[in-house]
Amino acid sequence: MAFEKVLTRNVGHPEALGVRGYRDRGGYDALARALRMAPEEVVEEVKRSGLRGRGGAGFPCGMKWSFVPRQHPKPKYIVCNADESEPGTFKDRLLMENDPHQLLEGCVIAGWAVGANTTYIYIRGEYTKAARILEEAVRDAYASGVLGENVLGTGFRHDIHVHRGAGAYICGEETGLLESLEGRLGQPRVKPPFPAVVGAFGCPTVINNVETLCCVTHILQRGADWFKGIGPDERNTGPKLYAISGHVERPGTYEYPLGITFRELLEGCGGMYKGRGLKAYIPGGASAPMLGVNDQEIPLAFDHLARAGSMLGSAAVIVMDETTCVVRATLRLSRFFAHESCGQCTPCREGTNWMAKILTRIESGKGTEADLDLLASVVPNVGGISLCALGDAAQGPVKSLLAKFGDEIRDNLRHGRYPLPRQRFFDPGAAS
């Protein structure tokens, strides 16, 4: 059976921006269905679907929901993580700008499932257009009886508030996000306790990514069996958005069954830019170790990429052609992590800066063999020993640079810098 796109079905249908248009296209049926089920049944359905978080960590969504205590004296919260800032990732922006109600519907379903009456959508501050569209959709949903005191006439109360961040990658980490939501520096918390028990404002909280909550909507609409039927195996299920960028002919967000291969994805977006050869690709955003020309048949799914030494992450695929200096590319990512480390834990704060500094020396032609040894000795000490995974993420690109592109680093050391002339993307003759 041909694969039917569901997450992006309303892209190109601007009428779906309004409640009426969204309903005409089948929207809010899933919510009505969920509200006829017992909350426990909704959790069970999502568990059975095999849905794993689409934000980066790939944690099973239904299991996360089931950690929230049923009986609890405090209010409970849903927090939608719309702080999309993993370099290379732009899929959630597409979902929010084109189909805001798909997300709102998922939020209310999640609220019903765990017994939460409030959702905060924490959206990165730079996404001003998406925030405007969401605010408008929320107003419309209140006016149409989808939100508020009496959701779809069932007596269930649910409120949704859009809350803007202010520019900090670490606020995509779920406890950093909660700190930021509460008006503080986005510095991750000590865990345990986990947010399911002590989350937003000290209350039980579920934090789900935008695409994850959109998947929930379709799981309730079509059933767990439909969702489970998509993807390579029962641990890697469902439709998936792949955001592909860099040196390809048609960068963009593409919806496929989870687990298509890099080669298939590349073909679907018109192949390499100007037909050039591939040097490396990153399968899951800046945190994911790079893969090379020999890794093109790996299914882009959680477990398959993990076995290959990388990760699906946010499924942001960044493609680098044969003219790319991978040292320079890695340096850019290392500078990013050094800038974004929140400064709380020493291994991450110091380690990300050390990696960026050593790579700067190597890239600029001032590096020595000793720098390479130093880099190799620093990398293992940056991750795994901090409050959050930013240090681990920062290791990813450098680890793979050392493992896969040692020859190229040595070329940098030997020749002073990248042996090819510095790549200029814009042809000076072409500009008018």
Partner 1 sequence: MTNHATADHSILPESVRTEIDALRPRYPTTEALLLPTLHRAQRAAGGWLSPETIVAVADFLELPPAKVAAVVSFYDMFHDHPVGRHRIRLCTNLSCQLRGAEELLEVLGEEFGVGEDEVSADGRCSYVQFECLGSCDTAPMMMVDDEYHENLTPERVRQIVRALD
Our CB check for partner 1 shows the closer of 230 and 409 to be 409
Displacement of CA 210 from its chain's centroid (Å): 9
Pairing status of strand 118-123 against strand 77-82: parallel
Q: How near is the Cβ of 272 to partner 1 at its closest, in Å? A: 12
Tell me which DSSP letter residue 185 carries: -
In sequence order, which residues have a C-beta less than 8 Å from that of residue 138 and are 6 or more positions away?
A: 104, 147, 160, 161, 162
- How many other C-beta atoms can be found within 10 angstroms of the C-beta atom of residue 101? 27
> 41 with 274: CB under 8 angstroms?
no
Our CB check for partner 1 shows the closer of 35 and 146 to be 146
Q: How near is the Cβ of 356 to partner 1 at its closest, in Å? A: 13
- CA–CA distance, 365 with 412 (Å, rounded to integer): 6
If you count DSSP H runs as helices and E runs as strands, how many of each does the chain have, helices first? 17, 9
Which stretches of 238-363 are DSSP H helices? 262-268, 302-307, 326-340, 346-363
Our CB check for partner 1 shows the closer of 68 and 282 to be 282
Our CB check for partner 1 shows the closer of 316 and 359 to be 316
- CA–CA distance, 189 with 175 (Å, rounded to integer): 6
**Strands lying side by side in the sheet with 205-209:** 159-164, 118-123, 77-82, 205-209
> 247 with 140: CB under 8 angstroms?
no
Q: How near is the Cβ of 295 to partner 1 at its closest, in Å? A: 18
Q: How near is the Cβ of 286 to partner 1 at its closest, in Å? A: 7
Our CB check for partner 1 shows the closer of 16 and 178 to be 178
Tell me which DSSP letter residue 231 carries: S
User: Which residues make up the interface to partner 1 (CB under 8 A)?
Assistant: 75, 84-90, 92-93, 124-129, 159, 161, 163-169, 180-186, 201, 243-247, 251-253, 282, 286, 316, 318, 320, 324, 328-329, 332-333, 336, 339-340, 342, 424-426, 431-432
Q: How near is the Cβ of 369 to partner 1 at its closest, in Å? A: 27
Our CB check for partner 1 shows the closer of 46 and 133 to be 133
Q: How near is the Cβ of 337 to partner 1 at its closest, in Å? A: 10
Q: How near is the Cβ of 147 to partner 1 at its closest, in Å? A: 13
Our CB check for partner 1 shows the closer of 90 and 418 to be 90
Task: Look at residue 263 and give its three-state secondary structure.
Answer: helix
